[in-house]
Amino acid sequence: MKDMVKEFGTVDLLGMIFPGSVLMVLICAECGAWPMIEQFVGSGAMGVVKTAVILFGGYALGMLLHDIGDMAERMLWQIPVFNPKVSVLLANGDAALFFPSPDLPEGGCARPEGSGRFQMIVGVSPAYALMSSLGLAFLFYIEWSLRIRMESFFLTLGSITAIIIILTLAGRLFWEDKHKDAGLLPYQKIVGVTERVFSQKQTEYKFRIAGKADGGASKIHLFDGFRAMARNLLVGVFIAYIWAHFSSGIFYQMFSSVFSSVFAAVCFYFVLLLLAIRSWRYSFLQYKYIYEDMAYMDERQKEKAESKKAAGHKEKK
């Protein structure tokens, strides 16, 4: 049992058990599961059974949320303007990966200055912030107007898809127009180059810190847990949102009450927007620290090699 507990990390606790347990409680209430379970086990054992259902069932449900989130994330990150790994490389001056041009200044950053300032203040790329805020705004406007009907769900789905397509095309046109004379790497190859860079860095990073009590690694695991929690909570909310359009139970009542009050709708909008923004931000920070830790360890390794080389020269003399 102790060995099993040790295997639980921040992703399991924050990213799976917590969101999954919250959604499990709501689903059991939606389906009327508690009265049915009580008939089988009796009221005396309900406390223990409820705890087991919420924790273990929530963990299983949390793994499903995590897989759905991973799949959605991988699809979204195929678009360079939404990919935090691309932002990490640009923020660290690795423009040469995308711009193999001799005219590019050494250590120059390909990111436009305004975009860099925006991300420093808000914490996410402008394109991702625009997609999140506009997508949620359309969702809330449509649901406010149509009041949780089946038609409103499909209309919202179409609107969000259109926003993603428009921003994807706009990002590509901006990238190609801004750097048309800089020996630009084809836009569709940017994500592939980025993934290869980070695949190598992450593998080497895990190898280097294996068996070490490394504070940086703990920080990266913590950011991974926070990222999974924010993202999986968002996935859980959208599952409940979809469910609300096809039932008249607790999910429908919850979203109906949200869209019946301006104050509740505005608060809920900013909660969802915050979850979307923090999910991307924690992903960015996780890869940023991996990148910076690798650069630091490489520098230290280089210094040690130079010290050994200098010491060898002294001994020969």
- Mean pLDDT confidence for 23-40: 90
Three-state secondary structure of 26-92 = HHHHHHCHHHHHHHHHCHHHHHHHHHHHHHHHHHHHHHHHHHHHHHHHHHHCCCHHHCHHHHHHHHC
Q: Would you list the domain boundaries of the chain?
A: 77-316
User: What confidence score (pLDDT) does residue 106 get?
Assistant: 46
DSSP state of 189: G
pLDDT of residue 100: 53
pLDDT surpasses 70 at 240 = yes
Confidence check: pLDDT of 112 > 50: no
Could you read off the pLDDT of 285-317 as tens digits, one per residue? 989 888 888 877 878 877 777 777 766 666 665
Task: Find the mean pLDDT for residues 261-282.
Answer: 95
pLDDT in tens, 186-199: 777 888 888 888 88
- Is the backbone of residue 213 left (phi > 0), alpha (psi -120 to 50) or beta? beta
The pTM for the full model equals: 0.84
For residues 13-32, give the mean pLDDT.
Answer: 92
Model confidence at 212, pLDDT cuts 50, 70, 90, reads low
Token pair for 286: 């996780």
Q: Across all residues in the chain, what is the average pLDDT? A: 83
pLDDT at 315: 63
| CA atoms of 35 and 54, how far apart (whole Å) | 15
Angle at 184 (CA atoms; ends 179, 188), nearest 5 degrees:
110
- Report the run of H or E that residue 271 belongs to, with start and end: helix 262-316
The C-alpha atoms of residue 235 and residue 19 are separated, in whole angstroms, by 9
Residue 223 makes CB contacts below 8 A (sequence gap 6+) with 282, 285, 286, 289
Contact 236, 19 (CB under 8 A): yes
Among the residues of 147-261, which ranges form H helices? Answer: 150-178, 190-209, 215-244, 250-258
pLDDT of res. 122: 84
- Chain centroid, CA 9 distance in Å: 17
Least confident of 29-38, 85-94, 104-113: 104-113
- Residue range 162-183: mean pLDDT, rounded: 80
8-state DSSP, 185: P
- Range with the poorest average pLDDT among 113-117, 201-205, 224-228, 307-311: 113-117
The pLDDT, as a whole number, for residue 108 is: 44
Q: Distance (Å, rounded) from C-alpha 299 to C-alpha 294?
A: 8
- H/E stretch holding 286 reads helix 262-316
